[in-house]
Amino acid sequence: MATRIYTDDFESKVLESDVPVVVDFYSDSCITCKKLAPTLCDIEEEYEGKLNVFKVNTNYDTKLVEEYEIKANPTLILFKEGKAVGKQIGPREYDELVEWLEDYI
């Protein structure tokens, strides 16, 4: 299961990561976010050691929400070498996420 991170550890966990990182911007009250969670767990297992997956709660980490212009939950942002290189908004199936990630891993 993806680990929740906060504004304070975002830089060390995401921007300074040696491997690509998917950040799931979510809300606890978002039904679609809850439906996406098992798919992200599968992605995390499939790409273990090649990709990290973290979660940021949009209700609490508003600085990150503003910085990355999060307008809807869930929003996935893929970071590589400290830069946001891709964004997916809304629910996604496993195969869609794998296809999206393959170009970066």
| From 5, 14, 22, 33, active-site residue | 33
| From 30, 84, 89, 98, active-site residue | 30
Active site residue 30: yes
Active site residue 41: no
DSSP 3-state assignment of 25? Answer: strand
DSSP 3-state assignment of 26? Answer: strand
Nearest 5°: the CA angle 73, 75, 20 is 150
Q: What is the pTM of this model?
A: 0.95
24-42 pLDDT per residue, tens: 999 999 999 999 999 999 9
CA quadruple 23, 25, 29, 34: dihedral positive or negative? negative
Q: Spell out the per-residue pLDDT of the chain, length 105, in tens.
A: 899 999 999 999 999 999 999 999 999 999 999 999 999 999 999 999 999 999 999 999 999 999 999 999 999 999 999 999 999 999 999 999 999 999 888
DSSP 3-state assignment of 54? Answer: strand
Cα separation, 8 vs 61, in Å, equals 9
Supply the pLDDT for residue 99: 95
Q: Which domains does the chain have, with CATH numbers?
A: 3-102 (3.40.30.10)
Count Cα neighbours of 30 within 13 Å in the Cβ-side half-sphere: 20
